[in-house]
Amino acid sequence: HVYRDELLRNRSTRAYSACYRAGNRRNTVRNTCQTHSTAYHKRFYNPTAGGYGSNNQACNAFSLYLGIVPAAYKARVIENLVHDVRNIHSGHLTTGNLCTKYLLDCLTTANRADIAYLIASQETYPSWGYMLANGATTLWERWEQATGEGMNSHNHPMMGSIGSWFYRALAGIQVDPEGPGFKNLQIKPQFVEDLQFVQCALQTVRGEVQSSWERHGDGVQLTVTIPVGSTARVCLPLESQPFTISESDTVIWGAGETDITGISKWMTDQHSVIFTVASGTYFFTVKPNQ
């Protein structure tokens, strides 16, 4: 948690530096983060188990979320986390109030949104769906069903991080750290196979952001609305087979692509095709080539 505090301080210093050129202070904070990161890995990583601490969901999820895991070890830590969720605990979480927040986020960042969705869609104990199945209309403080002295509260937001995961991961509405205040957005939806559609609207200081997608046959249609005064990077997942991306029936990525007003450029990274768009409403279709 000390390292987490230093990360937040580093981000604050970056914003401060942009305004006041506090370069030396930024370097000091960055060096402190690196010192703590190295010490954490040395103290808690278990090379035999390939994970941190007791190699459970909480320890590995928190380490991945913090970005503390060196690149050479990351794949094994992710593999351990996925195995723990899917095989050992049958798609259920074992985290509590401290690390539940990090579990879905770190799996999504590791391109395992399928496992995050597996957790989120469970209906047996322990899960959010278990609360719903047992008549809950608000979140419980504990995963188990209990009353009286066995349950402190049936109206407790402590496990409520799944709510932000819905719009940040499934709908993909995210803030760009380089453009705070929703000046720059990132729309990066996760098209998980077991989900047929998502609809989301988020009120921001610049207006309403919308992101919704739905499966149609073997393709996916994504509708995005960016408010006036904002720009966005729309990140669509790279497919394993040849595919085409269209906007309002005009091909913008793939064979015969054409420039579209409002879409200034595209690029690719390891996992996505990325478009930079101005304010407005866009209708994207991702479809495999026939």
Would the pLDDT of 26 be above 60? Answer: no
The token pair at 177 is 């750290």
193 and 162 housed in the same domain: no
Tell me which of 142, 169, 196 is where a domain ends. Answer: 169
66 and 137 housed in the same domain: yes
20 and 105 housed in the same domain: no
pLDDT digit string, tens, across residues 217-228: 889 999 999 999
The CA–CA distances, whole Å, from 179 to 7, 204, 277, 281, 287 equal 18, 13, 14, 20, 31
Average pLDDT, the chain: 90
- pLDDT at residue 265, rounded to an integer: 72
Do residues 194 and 121 make contact, with C-beta atoms less than 8 angstroms apart?
yes
Neighbour-count burial for 6-42, b at 16+ CB within 10 Å, e otherwise: bbebeeebeeebeeeebeeebeebeeebeebbeebee
133 and 187 housed in the same domain: no
193 and 148 housed in the same domain: no
Confidence band of 15 (pLDDT split at 50, 70, 90): low
Residues of the chain with pLDDT > 90: what percent? 66
Tell me which of 31, 46, 61 is where a domain ends. Answer: 46
251 and 186 housed in the same domain: yes
Give the pairing type, strands 219-226 and 280-288: antiparallel
CATH code of the domain containing 188: 2.60.420.10
Residue 52: what residue type? Y
- The mean pLDDT value for 59-65 works out to 96
pLDDT digit string, tens, across residues 176-188: 877 888 999 999 9
Would the pLDDT of 207 be above 50? Answer: yes
Would the pLDDT of 1 be above 90? Answer: no
Would the pLDDT of 190 be above 60? Answer: yes
pLDDT digit string, tens, across residues 237-286: 887 678 899 999 899 988 767 778 889 878 888 889 999 999 999 999 99
- pLDDT at residue 16, rounded to an integer: 59
Worst-scoring range by mean pLDDT, 4-13, 40-49, 155-164? 4-13
203 and 151 housed in the same domain: no
Write out the residue range of the structural domain in which residue 38 sits. Answer: 1-46
Structural domains in the chain (count): 3
80 and 104 housed in the same domain: yes
158 and 212 housed in the same domain: no
**Rg of the Cα atoms in the chain:** 21
- pLDDT at residue 178, rounded to an integer: 77
- pLDDT at residue 25, rounded to an integer: 57
175 and 165 housed in the same domain: no
31 and 96 housed in the same domain: no
196 and 141 housed in the same domain: no
> Shortest CA distance to 236 belongs to which of 179, 167, 186?
186
pLDDT digit string, tens, across residues 68-122: 999 999 999 999 999 999 999 999 999 988 899 999 999 999 999 999 999 999 9
Sign of CA dihedral 67, 185, 162, 123: negative
* DSSP helix/strand/coil, 112: coil
- pLDDT at residue 20, rounded to an integer: 47
Residues 6+ apart with CB under 8 A from 173: 167, 185, 187, 200, 202, 209, 211
Confidence band of 201 (pLDDT split at 50, 70, 90): very high
